[in-house]
Amino acid sequence: MKKSKKPVPTTPAPEAKVEAAIPWTTQIWEYGKIIALSIVLALLIRSFIIQAFHIPSGSMIPTFLEGDRVLVNKFSYGLRNPFTNKVWIKVGEPMRWDVVVFKYPGNPKTDFVKRVVGLPGEKVEIIASQIYINDKPIADPHAFYRQTELPNHYRNFGPTVVPANSYFMMGDNRDQSNDSRMWGCVSSSLLRGKAWRIYWSWNPEKDLSFTQRLRFERLGRKVE
């Protein structure tokens, strides 16, 4: 006599779940928050940490060439109010030979980049291209002079005493630089930051090919 088989219990197949479509208004809101956060972070970085600047002239040859783009560390000398440039938290002070971006004293809406030569309280004098600090000659390793038939009047200057909280600035291209020899010292309140690295370099000569205009060997170069 055959035994009857007990029915094997079967587990019902799980029902397929259907997720409701996210409303387009919610998607726009989420994307909007991401974009807004990205903009805020970019503004914070630009205002307080790193900012890019374009070099429009040859006053800093050979350190900078016309068409270089440089990143500037805005935190080098302190945390500043992005609107008034007033120092909130002082971090450090410029040292001799630092390459600094600052607001041009004659027009604060214009940014200049030069090298620090004279520090607060120092006596600066230039005689036949030789820089004297407090009546003592100093080595000038960054100076660049073009060959000229006649001596340039820029090669003699002073003496002058750098005011407190100010700096005497000069371009490395000594004969072709509009700097403290013409318009005086730069107040620390006008400083924007210390030049850090060249992130892009583009030759302004339009007749050259792309590979000739892109100065690949300068990309990422540390500013010294």
For the stretch 115-143, pLDDT in tens is 999 999 999 999 988 999 999 999 999 99
Q: Return the structure tokens found at 6.
A: 């007990």
Q: Is residue 170 a contact partner of residue 181, using CB atoms and an 8 Å limit?
A: yes
Q: Give me the pLDDT at residue 208, please.
A: 84
What pLDDT was estimated at residue 131? 96
Residue 100 tokens, joined? 């600094």
Catalytic residue from among 59, 76, 188, 201? 59
Place of tokens 């600090």: 133
Domains of the chain plus CATH, in order, are 51-218 (2.10.109.10)
Band (210; pLDDT cuts 50, 70, 90): confident
Give the model's pLDDT for residue 60.
Answer: 94
Q: Global pTM?
A: 0.76
Query: What band does 10 get if pLDDT is binned at 50, 70 and 90?
Result: low
And the tokens for 108?
């604060």
Q: Which residues pair with 136 in a beta bridge?
A: 133
Judge whether 114 counts as a catalytic residue: yes
Task: Give 39-74 pLDDT, tens digit per residue.
Answer: 655 554 455 457 888 888 889 999 999 999 999 888
Could you give the 3-state DSSP secondary structure of residue 210?
helix
Among 74, 103, 114, 194, the one annotated catalytic: 114
> What's residue 104's pLDDT?
93
Could you give the angle at the alpha carbon of 187 between the alpha carbons of 185 and 191, nearest 5°? 115
DSSP string computed for 4-67:
PPPPPP-PPPPPPP-PPPPPHHHHHHHHHHHHHHHHHHHHHHHHHTEEEEE--SSTTTTTS-TT
Per-residue pLDDT at 214? 87
